Amino acid sequence: MSVRYFVPADTTAIAVGADDVAQALAAALETRGEYGRIVRNGSRGAFWLEPLLEIEQHGRRVGFGPLSAAEVDAIVALPPEAREQHPLFLGDVEALPWFAAQRRLTFARAGLGDPLSLDDYLLRRGFDALERALEMAPEEIVQAIDDSGLRGRGGAAFPAGIKWRTVMDTPAGQKYIVCNADEGDSGTFADRLLLEADPYQLLEGMAIAGLAVGADTGYIYLRSEYPRAREVLRVALAKAEAAGYLGSNLAGSQRSFRIHLRIGAGAYICGEETALLESLEGRRGMVRAKPPLPAHQGLFGRPTLVHNVLTLAAATTVIADGAQAYAALGEGRSRGTLSVQLAGNVRRGGLVEVPFGVTLRQLLEDFGGGTRSGRPLRAVQAGGPLGAYLPESLWDTPLDYEALAAVGGMLGHGGLVLFDDSVDMARQARFAMAFCTEESCGKCTPCRIGAVRGTELLDRVIAREAPHSELALLEELCDTMEQASLCAMGGMTPAPVRSALAHFPEDFA
Amino acid sequence: MESEQLLAQLLYQYQDQPGGLLPLLHAVQADFGYIPADAVPPIARAMQLSAAEVEGVISFYHDFRRQPAGRHTLHICRAESCQAAGGEALVAHLQARLGIEPGQSSADGELTVESVYCLGNCACSPALRIGDATHARVDIARLDALLDSLLESAS
C-alpha cells in the first residue's frame, strides 16, 4: 500500500514555507529510501495550520501543522502507530472542530487533491452539473438558479436568477459571460483559494451559465496580484479544452463555449463591474453610468452576464444538487452558504464556509479564536475597505445580507478583518478616505474630490487642529458622497468612516 | 534595433485582439521592464488609438511603469488586514533601513519598493511580495533576512 504525502502549493501556504516543507519531504524520503508520492494539493483554507502536511496511509489521512521544514524529517521517520505522539499531530483534519462545524459546498473539494488533475475533479463529482445542464433547456437552468435563491457573492448580493433571465431574454446574437476575479478587498481571499484549489469548478460554472443565457464566449478578469492563480488557471483552461470540457464540442454536445483569461493591472475600481468591462475593452477602468445594464449592453456593447468567482462556482452546486437542496440552507433572503474569510489580527485565520445566519461572534470567537496578538479584540471590519467597523455590541448580529445592513454593516465579499485594542479608529477612518483618493476612477465629483477633502478633514481631526464643528462638516461630506456618487466606491467609503465615528467616538475626542 | 523588432512582434500579436491594449501593455512591460515613451506612438497606431488615449490607460493603472524599476521589486501590502497585523511597522523598517519610501528605488538601482493593496494572504498577514514570490506572517526579523539575501545576491 503506497503512502501519499500532501503539501499544498497554494499562494499563502507557500508564503509561509510550504515549498521548503515539500523539499525537505522529498529529501527525507530519498535519504530513507522510502517510496511515497508527494501531491501538491490546493489548500483546504485552514491557513492557520499552514504549512500543513498530510500523510495518507492504510486509508487514513492525518495532518501535521503548522510545521517548518526542519520538523519534516522527524515526522517521516515516525512509524505510523507513533505519529499521534508528535506535538504537531492533528489527526483527521476534517474532524477538527474548525472544519466539522463548517458546511462546505463551494469549497468541498478544496485541498483534497491536485487542483489540476481532471481525474481528481471527475472523481469528486466534477462536471456532473455540466452534464446535467446539457440535458436541460436554458429556461430550466435559469429557473433552477432563480429557485435556489442564489445572490451575487461579489458584494452587491443581487439575485442571480434575475440577471441570468435578463441576459437569456435578450435577442440571440453574441453574448458574454464575464467572471469578476478582481478580488481587491483587503481581508478576502476566497476567490484566490478557489482558483488555486479547484479551478475546474469555475470553468464548469461559466460553461453552464453560457448554456443558460446563450453565450459562447467567456472572459475571466483576474487581478495581477495573483500570479499563482494565473498559472493554475492557464493550465486548467488548456487541460479542460484538450479534454473537451471547453471548446467547440462541449462534452460531446456540439455546443460551444470558450474562455479567455485577462489580467488586470492593479486598479481596485476594476472590481466594479462596469469599470471591469471598460478595462476588458482596453480602456481606463472608468465606471459607466447605469442604465444601460451590462445584462443589456455589457462587454463590447453586447448582453453580458457578470458574476463573481464564487457565484459562478455556486451555480455548479445548484445544478448538481438541485435548487431545493441549496435553498434549504440559510436564513431570510440569504440562501445557501456564505464563504467567510477570517483575516487581520486573527488566531485561526482562513476560509470558513457556513450557511447564512451564523453570528459574527461565532465566527470571531469559535472559528477565529480571537486575536493572534492575544490582546482584546476591539473592532471588526466586515465587507472590505467599503465596509463598516463593528464594535462588540454588534457581534451577535447574524450574518445575512439584510440583518447586517440593518445595523449599518455590509457583508460584501465576506471578509472579516479583526483589530485588537491597539487600533486607532481615527486613523482607520482616515485610511478609508485616503484609499478612496488613491483608487477613485475620477469620473464623478463626490468621489474624486470628496475623498480628498475627507482625508484633509480627518488629518486635522487627528492632529487635534479641527474644532468639533468640523465633524459636522465630515458628516455632511459623507452624505454627499453616499447620495451623489456614481458607484459603491464613493458611495460606500463613508461607511467605515461613519461607523468609526459612531462606535468609537473616544478615538476622535 | 532589436527592441524595435520585439515591439513590432508584440504589436502584430495583439493588434487584432478585442480590447487588446491591456494585454499588449503587459507584454511590453514584461519584455522591456517598463513602457518606454517611444513605444507609445507605435502602440497607438497599431491599436488605432490616439497617443493620448494610450497615455491615459498607462497612467490609470498602478502596474504600468514609465521608468525602469530596480533589479528587484518589493511590494509591501498596506491594506487593512496587514495594518491590523503590524504591516505598517514593516513599512517603517523598510524606510529606516533603505532610506526610501514606497514608490522609490534605492540609489544603486537594486531595489524598488512599492505599496500594494492586498495580496490575498490576509489569513496570514502581514504579507509582501518580492517578484512573484509572496511571503506572509512577516515580522521584522524575517524582513531583514529577506533583504539580506536579496542584497547579498546582488553584490
A residues 437..456 contacting B (CB < 8 A): 438-439, 441
User: b or e along A10-39 (b: 16 or more beta carbons within 10 Å of the residue's beta carbon)?
Assistant: bbbbbbbbbbbbbebbeebbeeeeeebebb
The CATH code of the domain at A118-327 is 3.40.50.11540
Beta strands A258-263 and A217-222, pairing class: parallel
Beta strands in A330-395 (DSSP E): 330-331, 334-335, 337-344, 350-355, 377-382, 389-390
Question: What pLDDT, on the 0 to 100 scale, is given for residue A74?
Answer: 96
CB nearest A262 (choices: B23, B64, B136): B23
Residues of chain B found within 8 Å of residue A431, distances taken between Cβ atoms = 80, 83
B106: helix, strand or coil: coil
pLDDT at B65 exceeding the cut of 70: yes
CA distance A248 to chain B (A): 20
CA distance A430 to chain B (A): 12
The residues near A389 (Cβ < 8 Å, ≥ 6 apart) are: A379, A380, A381, A419, A425, A428, A496, A499, A500, A503, A504
Question: What pLDDT, on the 0 to 100 scale, is given for residue B154?
Answer: 57
| Contact with chain B for residue A417, Cβ under 8 A | yes
Quote the CA–CA distance of A290 and A292 in Å, as a whole number.
Answer: 5
Helix axes B21-32, B51-60, angle to 10 degrees: 70
Q: Across the interface, do B61 and A50 touch by the CB < 8 Å criterion?
A: no
| Contact with chain B for residue A372, Cβ under 8 A | yes
| Contact with chain B for residue A420, Cβ under 8 A | yes
Question: What pLDDT, on the 0 to 100 scale, is given for residue A1?
Answer: 54
CA distance B116 to chain A (A): 8
pLDDT at B153 exceeding the cut of 80: no
pLDDT at B123 exceeding the cut of 70: yes
Q: Across the interface, do A188 and B121 touch by the CB < 8 Å criterion?
A: no
Q: What is the mean pLDDT of residues B71-93?
A: 97
Q: How far is CA A49 from CA A65, A96, A98, in A?
A: 5, 11, 11
Query: Is the N-terminal amide bond of A66 cis, ω within 30° of 0?
Result: yes
Question: What pLDDT, on the 0 to 100 scale, is given for residue A86?
Answer: 97
Quote the CA–CA distance of B144 and B155 in Å, as a whole number.
Answer: 16
Query: Is the N-terminal amide bond of A292 cis, ω within 30° of 0?
Result: yes
Question: What pLDDT, on the 0 to 100 scale, is given for residue A325?
Answer: 97
- The CATH-assigned architecture of domain A330-420 is Roll (3.10)
Q: Which of A429, A431, A440, A410 is nearest to A471 (CA)?
A: A429
Q: What is the Rg, in whole angstroms, of the alpha carbon atoms belonging to chain A?
A: 24
CA distance A12 to chain B (A): 5
CATH of B72-154, picked from 3.40.50.2000, 3.40.50.300, 3.40.30.10, 3.30.70.60, is 3.40.30.10
| Contact with chain B for residue A374, Cβ under 8 A | no
| Contact with chain B for residue A260, Cβ under 8 A | no
Strand partners, A353: A339
Burial of B10 by CB count in 10 Å (0-12 exposed, 13-18 middle, 19+ buried)?
buried
Q: Across the interface, do A15 and B134 touch by the CB < 8 Å criterion?
A: yes
The ipTM assigned to this model is 0.97
Beta strands in A424-466 (DSSP E): none
Q: Across the interface, do B80 and A344 touch by the CB < 8 Å criterion?
A: yes
Q: What is the mean pLDDT of residues B61-89?
A: 97
- Chain segment B4-15, per-residue pLDDT in tens: 999 999 999 999
Where in the sequence of chain A do the CATH 1.20.1440.230 domains occur?
425-507
CA distance B67 to chain A (A): 16
Q: Across the interface, do A48 and B57 touch by the CB < 8 Å criterion?
A: no
Any idea of the CA torsion for A223, A225, A227, A228, to the nearest 10 degrees? -90
Quote the CA–CA distance of A311 and A318 in Å, as a whole number.
Answer: 10
CB nearest B85 (choices: A280, A372, A381): A372
Question: What pLDDT, on the 0 to 100 scale, is given for residue B155?
Answer: 54
CB nearest B81 (choices: A186, A191, A280): A186
CA distance B78 to chain A (A): 9
Quote the CA–CA distance of A120 and A114 in Å, as a whole number.
Answer: 7
CB nearest A266 (choices: B61, B84, B122): B61
CA distance B51 to chain A (A): 13
Beta strands in A271-314 (DSSP E): 304-308
Quote the CA–CA distance of A433 and A430 in Å, as a whole number.
Answer: 5
| Contact with chain B for residue A280, Cβ under 8 A | yes
Q: Across the interface, do B81 and A16 touch by the CB < 8 Å criterion?
A: no
CA distance B75 to chain A (A): 10
| CB hemisphere CA count around A287 (13 angstroms) | 23
Q: Across the interface, do B122 and A285 touch by the CB < 8 Å criterion?
A: no
Where in the sequence of chain A do the CATH 3.40.30.10 domains occur?
4-100
* Strand ordering across the sheet containing A217-222: A258-263, A217-222, A176-181, A304-308
Q: Per CB distance under 8 Å, which residues of B are interface residues toward A?
A: 18-23, 25-26, 47, 53, 56-57, 60-64, 79-85, 116-125, 127, 129, 132-137
Q: Across the interface, do A225 and B120 touch by the CB < 8 Å criterion?
A: yes
- Compute mean pLDDT per 10 residues along chain A, 509 residues long, and list them: 92 98 97 93 98 96 97 96 97 97 98 98 97 98 98 95 98 97 97 98 98 98 97 98 95 94 98 98 97 98 98 98 97 95 98 97 98 98 97 96 94 97 98 98 98 97 86 96 97 98 94
Question: What pLDDT, on the 0 to 100 scale, is given for residue A3?
Answer: 94
| Contact with chain B for residue A381, Cβ under 8 A | yes
Where in the sequence of chain A do the CATH 3.10.20.600 domains occur?
330-420
The CATH code of the domain at A425-507 is 1.20.1440.230
> Do A55 and A83 touch, CB atoms closer than 8 A?
yes
Residue A460 in grid coordinates: 486635522
Which fold, A4-100? Glutaredoxin (3.40.30)
Q: What is the Rg, in whole angstroms, of the alpha carbon atoms belonging to chain B?
A: 18
> Do A484 and A373 touch, CB atoms closer than 8 A?
no
> Do A146 and A165 touch, CB atoms closer than 8 A?
yes
Question: What pLDDT, on the 0 to 100 scale, is given for residue B115?
Answer: 97
Where in the sequence of chain B do the CATH 3.40.30.10 domains occur?
72-154
